[in-house]
């Protein structure tokens, strides 16, 4: 009996010891729900002039079960102490890092009981000097500033946290900063007290429930511009800008109140947060603006402009980006996705909303071209076999890095526009409002959005889910047959597969509309089967033409027979219809699915259209064709361009004229560079040179929004003297936007020796590499410079790896998407191997780049065979 009793006691001891034991295997991506954060108190002491900072975070948590070990997110942080308090007891913890430096393990001295507790961690970190994620610091006009950028998973670089979007909690932030600096965060300041040794302590009001990626702060000698009050609750607007730049925020101060009020009117909900600050970051990489509630951040060139740079391009850009970011205050901040697989709920909606608000904001701006270009960009990305769905699983950091793409933004926005057209504006708006009301201050998923929009219509919800979850572009082939007095269209759907691409399946419930000659209204249906017939009521006896997708609202490509396309080109199409038709046919021609001759016939006819919006679309359809398609026939192609667009270019001239419409400005920006470059018009290029020289010397208002295009055209024929003028102007420029415009132009230089000089600039310390790397982006976008760029990158691999921030290195394969031979593809694959593929996002970027090169080569072969 004594032995049995001893064994039983030992067994019970082991059970008790194991009750609090926790799995010490580092998480792969997600922390799990064993520990739930409830609220944060975060205190940071930082000086923008110093890299190192210190902090303390106290987190109210709830443990689902007793445990002696937990994981929390943290990257590059030094944990100095960690103590958990629960039930009046203190539990000391020892910190350990996971292998991938994304997590911190906390080993407690004994098991912590289930229930509520408070975890306090003292830590140190370093602000980055060259990256723009986590906490980082930058100089502007000699002064140092500190900023934050926590989306997607970069809060963990600044402080220990449960860094996942589904945990929305209140945050109370306290910043100890140099006494003369300004400190800002998501919420208003509630107290500011002097501290020892030249510091001050700034305490902010608690936030509404927020995920960690939306927490934001800024510290430095900012100018604070009062923007007055706007909106239903008279929200205070301010502009937080680097010292000395207050006057450059003039247009943002003027425009933002109207954007805010337009969005409040659409959502039917007042702006949800206590204030709306807009803060300028001098330089950003991999993002342009960020929707932090109460403290939106913008790259400097998006919000600031000197009087001579406050042109139409700047105004349009700010209005579009501002509308996008402010829309996020409802879609993303008030209601947040549960996990990153639904980041499209944020970005697709804000993209769509921006295109809806901006035409209301400024009716004089041409409303159709931008939406059509974004839809075409989505087609270009979505036609790839490597394309992912708008909603995609996010199970690794590589998945997360690929989640912010043209598919998420442009395709998602186009799908929303399609369903708004299907439902009607009023019904769609009510669905959006229903979604926001149901999930305010909480998290939601795609299913929640579909349910709110469909409002009980299961087929509609399923149709939307099909478009959002399936990758690929639907292709609808349209043929028309006539029998007696009846005309019937036969529709066939399949996933669009470019020449040279791997085949892929797919079936959608496609909202298809057709407009036929003689009919007063289009006929609409939902194409659910592989093939379906539609009677064309009200059409002429046998219509001469049938237009698929009138208005271009449908997210699908339409393919017609050659005679049908030829007749359609002569039909009375509206501006949106003509733009959409050109965009779709251009995508087909770039993909080995439409002979170039057919596209050029259509574009040549529409180049003569008196409506500038249509001629602009025709110019872009031709300009986007890869020069390799005309190898050996360059002179003939240049003659064709001059014949069809040359007279228009001559009539327009380089200089804008008084009282021209926005559509004419856009036409000039498309046609003049096309004729000067691909049309090989030496006279136009010669005219561009003195205009570029004057611009570089400071005469920037005269060219207005066309300045960037003139710089690019003039750079093509640059000699050493002009090259040096570009370089001197870049060094002298006092704002990032001007420097970036100049540097981007240098990527278009054709002289081999000068192009090599341009390529060497990012390897030097004279200018910021985050700006000079735009030379590589520009050269990669220019097909005739792309081979030279690839050769340079291979030769200077080690120097580039040492010079470029990690967040830029992962996207380097994208520089080479304009290469166009299979040998290039093989060389690109061989070069980007090994450690290069360990960077998050690099494998996906490489796969997409390889496929783009392969498809270009395949299209060259297909078009040669089709001639």
Q: Which residues are marked as active site?
A: 325
DSSP state string for 622-652: HHTS-GGGGTT-HHHHHHHHHHHHHHHHHHH
User: DSSP label at 410?
Assistant: I
Question: Distance between CA 851 and CA 388 in Å, rounded?
Answer: 13
Q: What are phi and psi of 365, to 5 degrees?
A: -80, 135
Q: If 0-12 CB within 10 Å is exposed, 13-18 middle and 19+ buried, where does residue 682 land? A: exposed
The upper half-sphere exposure of residue 283, i.e. CA atoms within 13 Å in the direction of its Cβ, equals 28
Query: Where do runs of H (alpha helix) occur along 659-785?
Result: 662-677, 682-696, 707-716, 720-732, 736-746, 752-760, 769-772, 774-781
499, two tokens: 């020449």
Identify whether the C-beta of residue 357 lies closer than 8 Å to the C-beta of residue 363. Answer: no
Other beta carbons within 10 Å of 732: 13
Q: For the chain, how are helix, strand and coil distributed in percent, rounded to 5?
A: 45, 20, 30
Residues 369 and 579: beta-carbon distance below 8 Å: yes
Centroid of chain to Cα 234: 30
Distances from the Cα of 741 to the Cα of 305, 601, 737, angstroms: 13, 34, 6
Q: Which of 749, 846, 844, 854 is nearest to 408 (CA)?
A: 844
Q: Kindly tell me the burial class for residue 146, based on how many C-beta atoms sit within 10 Å of its own C-beta (0-12, 13-18, 19 or more).
A: buried
The span from the first CA to the last CA of the chain, in angstroms, equals 98
CA torsion sign for 698, 701, 706, 708 is: positive
SS (H, E, C) 819-861: CCCHHHHHHHHHHCCHHHHHCCCHHHHHHHHHHHHHHHHHHHH
Give the Cβ contact number of residue 462 at 10 Å: 13
Angle at 156 between CA 803 and CA 298, to 5 degrees: 65
Q: How many CB atoms lie within 10 A of CB 531?
A: 11
Residue 463's SS3 state is: helix
- Within a 10 A sphere around the Cβ of 525, how many other Cβ atoms? 16
Tell me the three state secondary structure of residue 635.
helix
CA 100, chain centre distance (Å): 27
DSSP secondary structure letters along 411-428: IHHHHHHHHHHHH-HHHH
| The residue count for the chain | 867
Residue 416 contacts residue 464 (beta carbons within 8 Å): no
Considering all CA atoms of the chain, what is the largest pairwise distance in Å, rounded to the nearest integer? Answer: 109
CA distance 565 to 568: 5
Angle value at C-alpha 516, between 539 and 369, nearest 5 degrees? 155
Q: Beta 531-535 vs 189-194: how paired, if at all? A: unpaired
Rg (CA), the chain: 29
Please give the Cα distance from 149 to 154 (Å, whole number): 7
* Gap between the Cα atoms of 764 and 778, Å rounded: 18
Q: How many other β-carbons are positioned within 10 Å of the β-carbon of residue 713?
A: 26
Whether the upstream peptide bond of residue 152 has omega within 30° of 0, thus cis, is: yes
Decide: 222 and 243 in contact? Cβ < 8 Å: yes
């Amino acid at each position: 009996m004594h032995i049995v009793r001893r064994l039983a006691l030992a067994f019970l001891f082991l059970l008790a010891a194991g009750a609090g034991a926790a799995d010490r295997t580092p998480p792969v991506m997600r922390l799990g729900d064993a520990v739930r954060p409830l609220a944060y108190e975060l205190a940071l002491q930082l000086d923008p002039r110093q890299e190192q900072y210190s902090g303390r975070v106290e987190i109210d948590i709830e443990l689902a079960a007793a445990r002696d070990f937990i994981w929390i997110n943290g990257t590059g942080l030094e944990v100095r102490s960690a103590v958990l308090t629960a039930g009046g007891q203190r539990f000391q913890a020892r910190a350990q890092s996971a292998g991938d430096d994304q997590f911190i393990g906390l080993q407690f001295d004994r098991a912590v009981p289930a229930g509520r507790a408070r975890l306090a961690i003292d830590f140190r970190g370093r602000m980055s000097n060259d990256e723009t994620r986590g906490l980082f610091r930058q100089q502007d006009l000699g002064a140092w500033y500190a900023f934050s950028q926590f989306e997607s998973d970069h809060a963990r670089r600044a402080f220990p946290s449960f860094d996942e979007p589904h945990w929305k909690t209140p945050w109370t932030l306290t910043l100890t900063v140099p006494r003369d600096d300004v400190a800002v965060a998501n919420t208003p300041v509630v107290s500011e007290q002097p501290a020892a040794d030249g510091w001050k302590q700034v305490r902010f009001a608690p936030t509404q429930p927020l995920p960690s990626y939306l927490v934001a702060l800024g510290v430095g000698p900012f100018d604070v511009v009062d923007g007055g009050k706007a909106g239903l609750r008279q929200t205070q607007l301010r502009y937080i800008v680097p010292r000395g730049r207050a006057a450059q925020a003039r247009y943002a101060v003027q425009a933002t109140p109207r954007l805010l009020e337009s969005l409040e009117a659409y959502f039917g909900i007042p702006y949800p947060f206590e204030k709306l600050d807009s803060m300028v970051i001098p330089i950003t990489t991999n993002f342009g603006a960020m929707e932090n509630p109460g403290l939106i951040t913008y790259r400097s060139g998006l919000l600031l402009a000197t009087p001579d740079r406050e042109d139409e391009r700047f105004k349009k850009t700010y209005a579009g980006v501002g509308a996008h970011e402010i829309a996020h205050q409802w879609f993303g901040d008030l209601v947040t996705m549960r996990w990153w697989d639904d980041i499209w709920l944020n970005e697709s909606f804000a993209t769509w909303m921006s295109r809806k608000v901006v035409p209301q904001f400024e009716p004089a701006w041409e409303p159709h071209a931008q939406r059509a270009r974004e839809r075409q960009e989505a087609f270009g990305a979505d036609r790839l076999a490597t394309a992912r769905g708008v909603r995609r699983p996010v199970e690794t950091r590589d998945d997360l890095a690929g989640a912010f793409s043209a598919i998420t933004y442009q395709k998602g926005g186009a799908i929303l526009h399609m369903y708004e057209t299907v439902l009607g504006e009023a019904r769609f708006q009510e669905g959006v409002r229903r979604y926001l009301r149901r999930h305010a201050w909480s998290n939601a998923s795609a299913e929640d959005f579909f349910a709110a929009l469909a409002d009980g219509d299961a087929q509609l919800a399923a149709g939307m889910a099909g478009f959002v979850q399936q990758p690929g572009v639907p292709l609808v082939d349209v043929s028309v047959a006539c029998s007696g007095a009846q005309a019937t269209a036969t529709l066939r759907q399949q996933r669009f597969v470019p020449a040279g691409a791997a085949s892929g399946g797919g079936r959608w419930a496609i909202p298809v509309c057709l407009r036929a000659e003689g009919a007063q209204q289009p006929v609409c249906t939902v194409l659910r089967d592989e093939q379906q017939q539609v009677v064309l009521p009200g059409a002429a006896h046998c219509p001469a033409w049938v237009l698929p997708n009138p208005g271009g609202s449908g997210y699908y490509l339409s393919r017609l027979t050659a005679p049908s396309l030829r007749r359609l080109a002569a039909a009375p199409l509206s501006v949106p219809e003509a733009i959409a038709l050109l965009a779709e046919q251009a995508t087909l021609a770039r993909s080995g699915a439409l002979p170039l001759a057919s596209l050029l016939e259509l574009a040549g006819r529409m180049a003569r259209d008196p409506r500038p919006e249509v001629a602009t679309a025709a110019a872009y359809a031709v300009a986007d064709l890869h020069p390799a398609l005309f190898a050996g026939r360059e002179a003939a192609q240049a003659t064709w361009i001059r014949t069809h667009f040359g007279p228009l270019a001559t009539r327009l001239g380089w200089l804008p004229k008084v009282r021209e419409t926005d559509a004419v400005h856009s036409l000039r920006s498309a046609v003049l560079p096309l004729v000067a470059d691909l049309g090989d018009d030496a006279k136009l290029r010669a005219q561009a040179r003195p205009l570029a020289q004057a611009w570089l010397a400071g005469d920037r208002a005269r060219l207005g929004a066309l300045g960037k295009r003139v710089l690019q055209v003039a750079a093509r024929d640059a000699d050493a003297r002009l090259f040096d003028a570009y370089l001197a102007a870049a060094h002298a420029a006092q704002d990032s936007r001007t420097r970036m415009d100049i540097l981007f132009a240098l990527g278009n230089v054709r002289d081999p020796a000068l192009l090599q000089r341009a390529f060497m600039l990012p390897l030097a310390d004279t200018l910021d590499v985050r700006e000079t790397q735009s030379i590589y982006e520009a050269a990669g976008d220019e097909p005739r410079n792309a081979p030279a760029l690839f050769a340079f990158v291979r030769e200077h691999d080690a120097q580039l790896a040492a010079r470029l921030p990690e967040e830029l290195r992962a996207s380097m394969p994208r520089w080479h998407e304009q290469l166009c031979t299979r040998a290039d593809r093989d060389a690109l694959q061989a070069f980007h191997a090994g450690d290069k593929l360990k960077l998050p996002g690099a494998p996906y970027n490489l796969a997409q780049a390889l496929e783009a090169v392969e498809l270009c080569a395949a299209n060259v072969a297909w078009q040669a065979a089709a001639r």
